Amino acid sequence: MTPPASACRIRSLEQGDCPGWDRLYQGYAEFYGVPQTSQMRDTVFGWLMDPSHECEGLVAEAEDGELLGLTHFRPFASPLRAVTNCFLDDLFVTPEARGSGAAAALIEEVRRRASERGWKVLRWITADDNYRARGVYDRLATRTGWITYDMAP
């Protein structure tokens, strides 16, 4: 049975979380169909453990210590508004924990930390067809009208 969000704890990612985080991040990559190697995950985990790197990570942990979800976030400058904002890069909750409130709790903790730091907006993107997640996001935030583009340099 999936624990309710009140039964999970949101906390900063720690070095000892590597095996559980790796399992979650691999699941995230598979969900989006992104090929990913263990070396790539090692690189990202290294960033998350480096206090001088801009990326930070949080995990949702069940009472028994099992990791149920993760999120990564970082600051980004908004020159037009002359402020620093927060970008939530990755959010993943195990299929078994979906609907438990863990995703909303992870987002809320990022929002809290962004507020503490004086960051003005918390922003993230998702796939257009990620309907289940969008149901959560639509309850928590305002969908924007912006369209994103990617270009290889």
120 in any annotated domain: yes
CATH number for 106: 3.40.630.30
147 in any annotated domain: no
Counting other chains too, the contacts that 45-50 makes at CB distance below 8 Å and 24 or more residues apart are 45/18, 45/21, 48/13, 48/72, 49/13, 49/15
- The parent domain of residue 62 ranges over 5-140
Counting other chains too, the contacts that 32-35 makes at CB distance below 8 Å and 24 or more residues apart are 32/127
Average pLDDT of the residues in 31-41: 96
153 in any annotated domain: no
Query: pLDDT (tens digit, 9 = 90+) per residue, 126-149?
Result: 999 988 999 999 999 999 999 999
What pairing do the DSSP bridges indicate for beta strands 67-78 and 122-123? unpaired
Question: Model-level pTM greater than 0.75?
Answer: yes
94 in any annotated domain: yes
Q: So what's the pLDDT on residue 113? A: 98
